[in-house]
Amino acid sequence: MHAPGYHEHDGVFVRIALGAGWLGMSESTGVSDLNASGTGSGFGAAIGFAVTRKLIVFLDVSLLDTMHPDVTVNDAPTPRAGEDLTMWGYGPGIAYYFQPRNIFVSGAIAFCKLDLHDDQANTVTATRRGIGLDVAAGKEWWITTNWALGLALQLQYARMTDRAPDPSPVVSARAISLLGTATFN
């Protein structure tokens, strides 16, 4: 017989996630269409608490950074290559664990921002904060009484406005990541 709390979701919840992913963005001014996409590294962190043994509420922070993304304007490659495309966000979320398999699904509303820089470190696009959705599903394996390691697939979508003067073009971003997770609960 195990002590109370053994391999259960109770109390404080902390998850760190690291992995790789793909990020794409598009922006249309009515005169030109800017698109950028690439692969890169992802990071996520969540802190919260277990409402029940299966239901977690948390505050989520995520970042996906691509190096040397492909950049096109009106479907033609740009003369200056993209150097860095980054999207980050934060917001409240909820996770549900299917027990005893320790499989989870989660979703968060994120306040997102996106930046694209060229190879001369000039800002090509920088957005105001917008709203995004971050959903994930994964499987974790208990390694101690309260720690689990796992894998997760994360999908993100966000809409923001460019910081350019009005009328500010709308920027949409989408991402997919495969993450390794370490969770304390």
Q: Can you give the residue ranges of every domain in the chain?
A: 12-82+91-184
Domain 12-82+91-184: give its CATH code.
2.40.160.20
Q: What is the average per-residue pLDDT within 1-27?
A: 88
Contact partners, residue 79, CB within 8 Å, separation at least 6: none
Contact (Cβ atoms closer than 8 angstroms) between residue 158 and residue 133:
yes
The mean per-residue pLDDT over the stretch 132-147 comes to: 96
- Per-residue pLDDT tens over the stretch 50-108: 999 999 999 999 999 998 898 888 988 876 666 899 999 999 999 999 999 999 999 99
pLDDT above 70 (res 136) = yes
- pLDDT for 172 beyond 70: yes
What is the C-alpha to C-alpha distance for residues 38 and 149, in angstroms, rounded to an integer? 27
The first and second tokens of residue 59, run together, are 């505050």
Query: The whole model's pTM is what?
Result: 0.91
Checking 50-53 for CB contacts under 8 A at 24+ apart, the result is: 50/9, 50/10, 50/11, 50/13, 50/185, 53/8, 53/9, 53/10, 53/97, 53/99
